Amino acid sequence: MHTDNQQLSEFIDRALQEDVGPGDITSLACIPAEKTSKAKLLAKDPGVLAGLEVAKAVFAKVDPQSSLEIFIPDGAFIHHGDIVFEVTCNTRALLQAERLVLNVMQRMSGIATLSNQFHFEVEDLPVVLLDTRKTTPLLRFLERQAVRIGGCQNYRSGLYDRFLIKDNHIDASGGVKAAIRQVLDYRKTHQMDHYQITVEVRNLVELSEAMEIGQIDRIMLDNFELPLLREAVGIVAGQFETEASGGVTLHNVRKVAQTGVDFISIGALTHSSTSLDLSLKIVD
């Protein structure tokens, strides 16, 4: 699963500038410029590994002569004490890269692990689990990749690639029908017919209004209690895609899926994951 090379390169440049600044003064003081070291990445928590592509790019950036031997691939389950990879690199460069590699891989692995846990709960059911835009600013492209590695799927990249009429749009534009009509007019005027439309509804009245207008692709059923969610799915009866959203946890995601919705969007995949503990230790 690959990221955009330019986006990744620019991210690494910014991250190294933030951390290294004008120079790693401790390493400059006590590490000879020509010294080379070997280090191993150790797993200290169990979970799903993610972020190796970033690690490779970081080491290549700080030392083009560095070499990385990977023992465990992205998407694999790791256990405490596993050696994920060994890297041979200029020692000063290695120490510049260390924290960036660990921070990103720990964060991505935490997201992949939680995504995998959600996926496991519903893997035998015909439902797709989606992430949301509740991501760390400027890290969305990496966090979305981690979601995919964990077995779930991505929703919108941003505000620009799908019409998603949410509660604030509805309230600001005068109701469900008005909001949908205005979006349809905008889409037609700007020749954007290939952009799909999702409308969020908060109750059965808004659901009825959305269905009456139609010409949309998906109805997001926001914070519906399970009996009401099941009733709403029955009302839609396959005329539009259905999506459940709001308050979805590992404890209730299977029950939500069993209502028959096509999609479940889960902000927790990215905003509530716990980073996996990893460490990078020089061994030679």
Answer whether residue 220 shows pLDDT above 70: yes
Among the listed residues 53, 121, 131, 222, the single catalytic one is 222
- Closest listed residue to residue 47, CA positions, set 276, 274, 278: 276
Alpha-carbon gap, residue 230 to 263, rounded angstroms: 13
pLDDT at 1 over 60: no
* Residue 101 DSSP label: H
Residue 161 confidence (pLDDT): 96
Predicted local distance difference test score (pLDDT) of residue 109? 98
Residue 82 in tokens: 């596993």
Using 50, 70 and 90 to split pLDDT, how confident is the model at 37? very high
pLDDT tens, residue by residue, 86-126: 999 999 999 999 999 999 999 999 999 999 999 999 999 99
| Residue 19 annotated to the active site | no
pTM: 0.95
Buried b (16+ CB within 10 A) or exposed e, 214-245: eebebbbbbebeeeebbebbeebeeebbbbbb
99 belongs to the catalytic site: yes
The answer to whether residue 4 scores a pLDDT higher than 90 is: no
User: Checking phi first, is residue 44 left (phi over 0); if not, alpha (psi -120 to 50) or beta?
Assistant: alpha
Task: Region of 198 please: left (phi>0), alpha (psi -120 to 50) or beta.
Answer: beta
Phi, psi values for residue 267, rounded to 5°: -65, -30
Query: Does 200 participate in catalysis according to the annotation?
Result: yes
**Domains located in the chain, CATH noted:** 5-113+274-282 (3.90.1170.20), 153-265 (3.20.20.70)
Task: Band the pLDDT of 3: cuts 50, 70, 90.
Answer: low
Clarify whether 40 is annotated catalytic.
no
Neighbour tally for 175: CB within 10 Å: 12
Q: What is the pLDDT of residue 11?
A: 97
What's the chain's average pLDDT? 97
CB-based contact 180:165 (threshold 8 Å): yes
Tell me the per-residue pLDDT of 116-160, one tens digit each, with 9 for 90 and over: 999 999 999 999 999 999 999 999 999 999 999 999 999 999 999
pLDDT score, position 2:
61
pLDDT of residue 12: 98
What per-residue confidence (pLDDT) applies to 245? Answer: 98
Answer yes or no: is pLDDT of 222 > 60. yes
Of the residues 40, 56, 134, 230, only one is catalytic, namely: 134
Residue from 40, 99, 181, 187 carrying the catalytic annotation:
99
Q: Is 160 helix (H, G, I), strand (E, B) or coil?
A: coil
- pLDDT class of 284 with cuts at 50, 70, 90: confident
The SS3 call for residue 6 is helix
In the chain, how many H helices and how many E strands? 11, 12
> Is 13 a residue of the active site?
no
List, for residues 164-197, the tens digit of each pLDDT value. 999 999 999 999 999 999 999 999 999 999 999 9
Q: How far is CA 185 from the centre of its chain?
A: 32
